[in-house]
Chain A
């Protein structure tokens, strides 16, 4: 009796064909069991069929000794299919593993972001309301303005770092001036972006900007009206004679402008101080004095804006005086300088505690 060659590729066959062939196989199996190899074949093919058909017959699938030659082809096919199945299952497990890994990472990131947001909100609350003990209704907008700024500034610092690395690579690679010009322009534009951000948050809470609490501690040490001194921009490299003269003039103008602003700030301090202190102390009413002082403090926003304006103008004048390459080096030096200040701050914050006295 010839058994038909079973085309055991269940995916291609309808469910009825295997059953028909199973029937035939089953008889063969009953007669000639092939215990070793057949068992596993039964189990695996069995699983496959169970997935694909509603009925199962457990008896039939092992090829018999009689039909080994013809049966060897089906066995190969079965084995190959089983191997492919194993492979597919393995890949599927790997993909699942990768997906779960990615989910875990996203979850961690989300937790970090939530913590960051909470920290920032708390800091905003601290700066905007609690410590000064006033503007209770006001602190909502102040807080959100500050929180928004802190997030943006964090991103700004990251982009700044990336730009510095790009500049460094570009300068070492000796790329063309045209390409360098693009980097210089985007570097300067990045600073201008910061000034815009500061202007927005200054309207929400000018004390926040001026206090420099958004910067790291070492940067804050050098803070001047809510940022770096414009004259910091003028530490420069090899210059031609003509440039030396121009930079010298720029240094002088910059210093004069800085001094003028500083003196204006002092005047503002005097004014606010005398306003707050004014009026009869004997009476317990300070509201008019404090209210007037509030108005005068509005001027602080102008000071922050003017200081940033000075930083911007100095940067632009520098870019006019210098060649593209010099400007790139200057931007790199400036960015690297602030980067190192930030590193100094981190080092300072993590310094070992003072040994306690015996």
Chain B
């Protein structure tokens, strides 16, 4: 019997804000963006939240691609940025990152993993692949 894959594992390459706005019309207006984001984060094995046109997110994507992971990328508009970051901040308070979430932010397995710093460090120390496998973003 095949094991159920816990998260949606075929994320569309560039899930942009518009498609999600369409999806989550039931959410409240004020927290609309934040809730959207939370949904996406929990639904994807790997997702990168980044500002629009950020070149660093490009770096993160390229790195994950070389590992065989095609991450979802959610671009945040400037006006929504503060709200979304606040929302994420309150959720992530329990984890090690007590500081504000920095963009680009990588979420693995529905949890905040860290910024480009963390991804690089984990990659160099050789642990990134196992982290990705645990989250179901990679097989083999």
Which A residues contact B (CB, under 8 angstroms)?
A: 246, 249-250, 253-254, 256-257, 259-261, 263-265, 267-268, 271, 296, 299, 302-303, 306, 309-310, 313-314, 317, 320
Contact = CB atoms under 8 A, between A and B. Distances in A.
B116 interface: yes
B117 A264 contact: no
10 contacts: A256-B66, A263-B58, A268-B55, A299-B56, A303-B55, A309-B121, A310-B124, A313-B120, A313-B124, A317-B125
B54 interface: yes
B62 interface: yes
B62 A253 contact: no
Contacts of B60: 260
B126 A260 contact: no
Contacts of B120: 257, 306, 309-310, 313
The 7 closest A-B pairs by CB, nearest first: A264-B59, A260-B63, A260-B62, A268-B55, A313-B124, A267-B58, A256-B66
Nearest to A314: B124
Interface string B25-60: 000000000000000000000000000011110111
B111 interface: no
Given A259-B62, A260-B66, A306-B117, A299 B54 contact: yes
A interface majority secondary structure: helix
Interface of B: 53-56, 58-60, 62-63, 66-67, 116-117, 120-121, 123-126
Given A250-B126, A256-B67, A309-B120, 18 more contacts: A249-B126, A256-B66, A259-B62, A260-B59, A260-B60, A265-B55, A267-B55, A267-B58, A271-B55, A296-B55, A302-B56, A303-B56, A306-B116, A309-B117, A313-B124, A317-B124, A317-B126, A320-B125
A254 B67 CA distance: 13
